[in-house]
Amino acid sequence: MCADLWSFALSTYARSGCEAACLRLQNQGADVCLLLCGAWLEQRGVAVTAERIEALEQVAKPWQSQVIEPLRQVRVQWRAMAQRDEQLAGLRERVKTLELEAERQLLVRLETLAQPWPPEKGQHSWLEGLATEAANLDHDALQLLRVVATGT
């Protein structure tokens, strides 16, 4: 088990099927950083509460909307043009690096908030609590993320 959230996120995302599941959930409006944090909390045995979900969302939503999403929009918008323009392709790669760094910073912020929460008995269904309503309907993607995160 990875002690820190960033290492957990990297190792989980690299596992077979995780990227596709995360992109499906992201396309349905879910915050993948929040979901990876939720999977990490599930693995640690931290009980889910409405207050904890709200606290994580209060950290994630502004960072997601004001930092990560604008970078992602530029990266996606430049995709087709960058295939024909070498200089733009280089800039796009730099934006992609910034986007990844912004996601890392968000995960650090989420970990800082959640680190003091002890493992305890209780409900551990973080993914359903942190997924958007639309993403919650994609039980297969959520379950795949859960299975990949636990390594089972």
Q: Could you count the other beta carbons within 10 Å of the beta carbon of residue 44?
A: 19
Residues 6+ apart with CB under 8 A from 114: 5, 37, 41, 46, 52, 56
Q: What pLDDT does residue 21 have? A: 93
Tell the burial category of 57 from Cβ atoms under 10 Å away from its Cβ (0-12, 13-18, 19+): middle
Q: What pLDDT does residue 135 have? A: 80
Q: What pLDDT does residue 121 have? A: 81
Give SS3 for 46: strand
Parse the chain into domains and list their residue ranges. Answer: 5-150
Please answer whether residues 38 and 109 qualify as being in contact, where contact means their C-beta atoms are separated by less than 8 angstroms.
no
The rounded Cα 93 to chain-centroid distance in angstroms is 20
What pTM was estimated for this model as a whole? 0.92
pLDDT digits (tens, 9 = 90+) for 24-69: 999 999 999 999 999 999 999 999 999 999 999 999 999 999 999 9
pLDDT digits (tens, 9 = 90+) for 131-149: 988 888 888 999 999 999 8
